[in-house]
Amino acid sequence: MTGLIHYCLAYAAFDPAWLTHPAVRWPLTGAYLAVLGLIAAYGLHRYWLVWLYFRTRRRVPKPLSRYDPLPRVTVQLPMFNEANVTRRVIDAACQLDYPQDRIQIQVLDDSTDGSDQIAQERVAFWARQGVDIQLLHRVHRHGFKAGALADALAGATGELIAIFDADFVPPPDFLKQSVHYFTDPAVGMVQTRWDHLNRDNSLVTRCQAIFLDGHFLIEHTARNRAGRWINFNGTAGLWRRRAIESAGGWQHDTLTEDVDLSYRAQLVGWRFVFLPLVRCPAELPPEINAFKAQQHRWTKGSIQTAKKLLPTVLKADVPWGVKVEAFFHLTSPMVYLYVSLMALLLYPAFFVNMQPFEGGSAGAFLLGMSVFALGTASASAFYVVSQQQQGRGVLTTIAQLPVLMSIGVGIALNNARGCIEALLGHDSDFVRTPKYNTLQPDRHTGGRHAQRVIPTPSIKTWMLVLEIGMGLYTLECARMAAFSDRALLSTPFLLLFSFGYLYVGLTGLLNQRLAGGPTPQPAF
């Protein structure tokens, strides 16, 4: 660490005169303006989503009719080495308020650590209570989660398929609130909103909750009610079996098999419904490395899906509004790469006027304010509205924004790596997000159950060091800005960048040490 600090200080002290050479300045300026333009474009799109949300929020979907009798449903519970939450999700699924002769439970447990014994015990218990439940344990890992879902579909008896990941706890009335939308024969999938069991567990969970609220309450609602396409989120939703099969079934050539199947299903004509008022609670990853592993998978998988399906979507016979929204939806993780590039260009920006206007001019002021409004302010509006629509205090949310933005910047390198890997065609396993069950009571004290940090094998030590290095780099930029009349106003934002990188890197390194190092662990 000392060597890294000395290196960064030495780098900060070098003679920057060469940066002003035209052969260097103009490429840097072009790159800087291009990155700012791309970030601004996606920021403008966030404003568009907020506007679209307010325009369409009263278009509440209603079932075409109601089933009588209710359709047969198969509930699938994919899991892998989930000892902390296996019992909870199986018990919740078996207590769904639905006619016993109309529901089948499939526990898809491919565990290799012995935790499948918990599943065996709970399956045997509920079978004795008359529940139609079976445990499907594969002896191979082909296809990971997508492979498990595909293999289980052959034995499913339901015309509708409900899927819950192991960290979810479906409420008893979940099926009765959602199945009736399938009375419309054009509906292929119904997605419900994720709720959060441990929203206030830590700084990381509070930020995640706001991130996800924005995705579900603003993005999903706006897109679905405006006739754009949405995606199944991998859990807390129901599929019509025919929709899965007609779209080509579950495929595992991307890390987001849910997004992949969603777009293929909508390409062949199926309509999706999002129900923001039907909430399915789940536990958020309580520590930073688990969160980063999940984000890396989602980011990489989204770009993989864009490479796979976006050309087909753009050529499809669908409205242009659908095509444009699909482009922004599938490519939105690229913003993390653009933010990382912008951070790298911050230091040379102090020595090169990397904008078409002179510093202090009206043009420079307008350019700076435009970038701020389209980049930072658009994200702020997006998340403030998502909280305000839930009845959460606007002022409280605004007070949380600096930390929220810092964490978003802090994970940018991790997610940028996912984008680059996807663009280069680098394959990787589906690495499961560690599940903790932080709300589980201790059998002796009755308080929360304390557990050691679970290793996250996809988090590399060199990435943590790189994040810390970026924190020091942006901290030096903040120091320089504080003593520069031209860049003084940027100091608070540079400090947010620095805090985000240092928090994510240092916390990740600490948790990795607490977990015993980057211990290899099977993927799922």
Choice among 109, 110, 195, 260 that is catalytic:
110
Cβ atoms of 486 and 395 closer than 8 Å: no
Amino acid symbol at 450 = A
If 0-12 CB within 10 Å is exposed, 13-18 middle and 19+ buried, where does residue 129 land?
Answer: exposed
Cβ atoms of 243 and 237 closer than 8 Å: no
Our answer to whether residue 258 is catalytic in this structure is yes
Instruction: State the Cα–Cα distance between residues 470 and 472, nearest whole angstrom.
Output: 5
Choice among 116, 167, 195, 258 that is catalytic:
258
Q: Estimate the share of the chain in helix, then strand, then coil, as percent rounded to the nearest 5.
A: 55, 10, 35
Instruction: State the Cα–Cα distance between residues 284 and 521, nearest whole angstrom.
Output: 20
CA atoms lying within 13 Å on the CB side of residue 24: 12
Count of CB atoms situated within 10 Å of the CB of 355: 18
Instruction: State the Cα–Cα distance between residues 359 and 365, nearest whole angstrom.
Output: 8
User: What does residue 191 show for φ and ψ, rounded to 5 degrees?
Assistant: -110, 135
CA atoms lying within 13 Å on the CB side of residue 183: 15
Residue 177 structure tokens: 């609130």
Sheet containing 103-109, strands listed edge to edge, beginning at the edge strand earlier in sequence? 133-136, 103-109, 73-79, 160-163, 237-240, 187-196, 271-282
Q: Coil, strand, or helix at residue 194?
A: strand
Place of tokens 């924004």: 401
Closest CA to 75 of 98, 56, 52, 46: 98
Place of tokens 């307010």: 54
Count of CB atoms situated within 10 Å of the CB of 320: 8
Apex 221 CA angle, 219 and 225, nearest 5: 120
Place of tokens 């004795």: 128
Cβ atoms of 341 and 31 closer than 8 Å: yes
Closest CA to 182 of 238, 117, 115, 251: 238
The residues assigned a catalytic role are: 110, 258
